[in-house]
Amino acid sequence: MRFASVFVVSILLATTASVGAISSKGVIACSNSSLDNLPGNWSMPDQSCLRVDLGILEPEESLFFEISSDSEVDILLFPSNTVSVYQNEQSYRIDSVWISESVFESFSGQGEWHWKVPSDRDSTRWYLVIDNLAHPQDMGEGSQGGQVSEVSLDGGLISPQQFTLSDSIHRVESGGYSIVHGPFSVDEGTFVEIHARTMVGEPDIFVMTESAFSYYSPSSNWSSSLRIVSADMLQVSNERYLPWEARDLDGEDLYVIVDNRPGPGGGGAGASEAAVTVTLTLIPVLEPLISSQTNLDSVDVGAPVILSASGTPNKSNQILESGFSWDIDGDGTNDRSGVTTEHHWEDPGNYTVRLSVTSTDSRSASSSRVVTVVDLSPPSVSLSVSEEVTKAFGEQLSISGTFDDNWELDGIDWMMDGEIILSNYSLTDSTSEFTLQVSEDYSSGQHLVSLVVRDKSGMSTKKDVIVNFIDITAPEISQYENQIEVDIGAQTIFQIFAQDDQSEELVYTWIIGQGTDSEIQLVGSLVAHTFDSEGQTNVVCRVENDAGLTSYADILVIVKSSESSSGITWQVVTIFAVILTITILVAALFYYNSAVSRRMEEFPDAEEEQEPPPQPPTPQMQAQMWRRTDESTFTPRENPPVAQHGAEMYDILDVASTPQDRASITSDFEDSLLGDLQPKNDQTNPQPPEGTKIRSDCSSCSKAFEVTLPAGIEAAYTNCPHCGSEELVDTS
């Protein structure tokens, strides 16, 4: 019993001594090294440590570490302000003292991890400690030493790559996950490189779209079935590498996940903590693409075209603006740079354009596009006038036109009312002028003047302008008598002549007694009127042309009574005189025949003389009958002769007294008188004598005219049909 008690006390004392030894505090002295001396190899005795000075690091800087140990050691990371806590044997196993992301306890074998300097602090000096000690605060966790450890270490700053999205270690508890990077966009065809290096556990690495992540991220009822299976990295227990090409993303953003949840089939169980470094790097696609808002299969000649490379995949900013270059003329040499460039082609044809791109990681690619240039635009035309132009007859019309074409002009036509007036098919200038003398050859009113311009491709443009030709001159009235005298009751003929070459028709309106109660109007170039009252009357003839312009002829008409007090005109007096003369002659013939009969009875043996046939009237006789003279054609004697018998009658008649002479005279007189009074017996249907055509020249306007005088009339007055002048014509 006593032995047992002594044994228990001995054990208690030994335990107390051991606890006292462990709980004693002091300053830990570690071997020192620096990042600049790496790589290095150390043989670490039991209960020793190695402190590696990593230097002063900036936020977001990354370092890599590669370690190898033949026995368990602890790998610890401290900033300069907390490393003393570790060396003074104080409690350091908390996040505020050490950097838990880069802490690996009881590590043996080979491993690699990357660490990024936290961004929540300024520039800081850092220390990496390789620990082969047993600390009072360990509570049995981590390596406790007890043997010599052979350790090799390498490390250094990581130079950032152009398209590295993430490069750091991820610590994931059991049943959890960590986002390596996301959400982020990539172009279709971009390679996503995933490089994993596991220090602890066997995690899975997934790539999923944003919509798939929305089903995976909940803490319960989550699902990883929508992940992109072709990018899976399952049970990563060491170093793994996967290049995955992004396809069929439908424009969705991506997430890369370190998964430490159970499943899926073939994946990690997620039963323990996991620590894995994931380096996520892109190799962006280089796929130059030429585009334009203009249809490059049909570009208009001379039209500016903006060529764009904006459709080129560049979600990762793999191509800077200076990385785009253009070869426009197809000579193999780049002419311009930039995302866009503007160019025009002056002639139709097919032109090859090449776009080359160079990425920020010095890769390059190019593509070509054929641009088809054709003439799509008609000529442009403008006229010097845009509104209606009015010109009078006798004036000059002048219109100028300017024109241009995106390629080449072929010719122009100036047209009026659809008829070509002027053409030019060998153009040397871009202007043309159309001049026209407005003459009577053109009708008054509106006309359409057009300029038609054609180019080499057969397209044309027509510009129109309306021109209005007007008459500004009134009709011109020929010379006329402005004062005439007429007899009351006699029909008076009025006629004037007017000329207007610009009008097709003239309207003559005669106004007689204008402004009086008896005013009348007659229409026509020749009118007749009978005045029934004496005095002066104004007769006005208004001549109006197609344009409504008028000219006036004023004639003063003096109406007078006839010369006889009875009002009978001289023509009536003459008729009565002729009738009286015929009556006297008939009476004289009657008495003469009676005397001859009685006388012949006294000479029964006298040979009867046959009466000659009546003769037609001579021209002189007709002239005496038709020609108007101031003197009467026959003057009756105051005392008509009384028939006498025998020689007394012949003496009174002043004829020969012999019977033969008397018979001859009597026969001639009878023939002459009866020939005037009786119809000719040598013609069954007597015809009136034909008139005489007289051609004369007007003394006023010198123009020739022709009139017909009735048979027997040798002279007469008439008006010139051209100017209205009164002219005397005769047969001489």
Output the pLDDT for position 569. 54
Examine residue 502 and state whether it is found in any structural domain, yes or no: yes
Q: Quick one: three-class SS letters along 516-542? A: CCCCEEEECCEEEEECCCCEEEEEEEE
- DSSP track, 498-522: EE-TT-S--EEEEEESTTSTT-EEE
Token pair for 238: 């060491």
Output the pLDDT for position 214. 97
Pairing state between β 31-34 and 48-57: parallel
Please name the helix (run of DSSP H) or strand (run of DSSP E) that holds residue 165, with its range, or none.
strand 164-172
Examine residue 488 and state whether it is found in any structural domain, yes or no: yes
Q: Quick one: three-class SS letters along 652-666? A: HHCCCCCHHHHHHHH
> Which domain-ending residue is among 374, 391, 416?
374
Q: How far apart are CA 71 and CA 143, in angstroms?
A: 9
pTM comes to 0.57
Number of domains in the chain: 7
Q: Are 51 and 75 in contact (CB under 8 A)?
A: no
Instruction: Tell me the torsion sign for CA atoms 177, 181, 182, 186.
Output: negative
Are 711 and 657 in the same domain? no
Are 208 and 189 in the same domain? yes
> Which domain-ending residue is among 425, 450, 470?
470
Are 150 and 184 in the same domain? no
Q: How far apart are CA 383 and CA 399, in angstroms?
A: 7
Are 315 and 396 in the same domain? no
Are 462 and 510 in the same domain? no
Are 178 and 138 in the same domain? no
Tell me the residue type at 520. Answer: I
Examine residue 9 and state whether it is found in any structural domain, yes or no: no
Q: How far apart are CA 311 and CA 295, in angstroms?
A: 15
Examine residue 204 and state whether it is found in any structural domain, yes or no: yes
Are 363 and 394 in the same domain? no
Examine residue 286 and state whether it is found in any structural domain, yes or no: no
Examine residue 618 and state whether it is found in any structural domain, yes or no: yes
CA 482 vs CA 155, 476, 538, 606: distances in Å: 135, 16, 10, 71
Are 90 and 149 in the same domain? yes
By residue range, what is the domain housing residue 197? 164-281
Are 511 and 530 in the same domain? yes
Are 309 and 345 in the same domain? yes
Q: Are 483 and 729 in contact (CB under 8 A)?
A: no
Output the pLDDT for position 603. 52
Burial class (CB in 10 A: 0-12, 13-18, 19+), 238: middle
How many CB atoms lie under 10 A from the CB of residue 582?
Answer: 14
Q: How far apart are CA 283 and CA 467, in angstroms?
A: 73
**Chain centroid, CA 234 distance in Å:** 66
Are 521 and 548 in the same domain? yes
**Tell me, what CATH number does 181's domain have?**
2.60.120.680
Q: Comparing C-alpha atoms, which of 132, 188, 123, 194 is closest to residue 165?
A: 194
Task: Give phi and psi for 291, each to the nearest 5.
Answer: -140, 165
Q: Comparing C-alpha atoms, which of 40, 201, 183, 242 is closest to residue 113?
A: 201
Q: How far apart are CA 97 and CA 129, in angstroms?
A: 13
> Which domain-ending residue is among 677, 700, 716?
677
Examine residue 13 and state whether it is found in any structural domain, yes or no: no
Segments in the chain below pLDDT 70: 1-26, 562-573, 596, 599-690, 732
Examine residue 449 and state whether it is found in any structural domain, yes or no: yes
Are 31 and 153 in the same domain? yes
How many CB atoms lie under 10 A from the CB of residue 591?
Answer: 15
Output the pLDDT for position 625. 45
